[in-house]
């Protein structure tokens, strides 16, 4: 291990931290959640009313100003494990079913 190694590793980590800081500062609470299937907007709902969005392969839920994917019929379940989103620009993606939840 050379000094240069430590330097580049530290540099990338600092860059990552700086980017994370910038992104976090830029994040704003979103107002609505956009549901896209096959890259086309299917519907848009306000985040301040709780509701359930039933799609062909997925079920999304809006509760307490946050949106999350409750069910998906795919085998990897990545979208279900993605957690809750509420900030502008955040999204949950279900690649197998080509479903995207995006906060606007």
Partner 1 sequence: MSSEQSYTRNQIKKISLYAMLTAVCIIIGYVESLVELSFIAPGVKVGLSNSIACVLVFYGDIKGAFAVNISRILLTALLFGSPVSLCFALAGGIISLTVMALLKKCRFLSVIGVSALGGALHNVAQCAVGLVFVGRGVIFYLPVLLAFGVACGAAVGVLSKLILARIGKSEKNVR
102 binds partner 1 (CB under 8 A): yes
37 binds partner 1 (CB under 8 A): no
In angstroms, give the least distance from the CB of 49 to partner 1. 23
Stretch that binds partner 1, among 41-49, 50-58, 60-68, 91-99 (CB under 8 A): 91-99
13 binds partner 1 (CB under 8 A): yes
CA distance 92 to 64: 17
Q: Binding partner 1 by CB under 8 A: which of 41, 43, 54, 95?
A: 95
CB distance 33 to 67 below 8 Å? yes
- Nearest by Cα to 100 from 72, 65, 64: 72
- Phi and psi based region of residue 36 (left: phi greater than 0; alpha: psi -120 to 50; beta: remaining): beta
Positive or negative: CA dihedral 55, 100, 32, 66: positive
75 binds partner 1 (CB under 8 A): no
User: Which chain residues interact with partner 1 by CB under 8 A?
Assistant: 1-9, 12-13, 15-17, 19-20, 23, 76, 78, 81-82, 89-91, 93, 95, 100, 102
């Amino acid at each position: 291990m050379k000094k240069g190694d430590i330097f580049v590793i530290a540099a990338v980590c600092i860059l990552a931290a700086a980017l994370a800081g910038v992104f976090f500062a830029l994040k704003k609470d979103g107002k609505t959640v956009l549901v896209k299937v096959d890259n086309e907007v299917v519907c848009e709902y306000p985040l301040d009313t709780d509701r359930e969005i039933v799609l062909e392969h997925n079920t999304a839920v809006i509760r307490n100003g946050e949106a999350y994917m409750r069910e998906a019929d795919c085998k990897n379940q990545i979208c279900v494990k993605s957690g809750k989103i509420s900030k502008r620009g955040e999204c949950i993606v279900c690649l197998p079913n080509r479903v995207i939840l995006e906060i606007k």
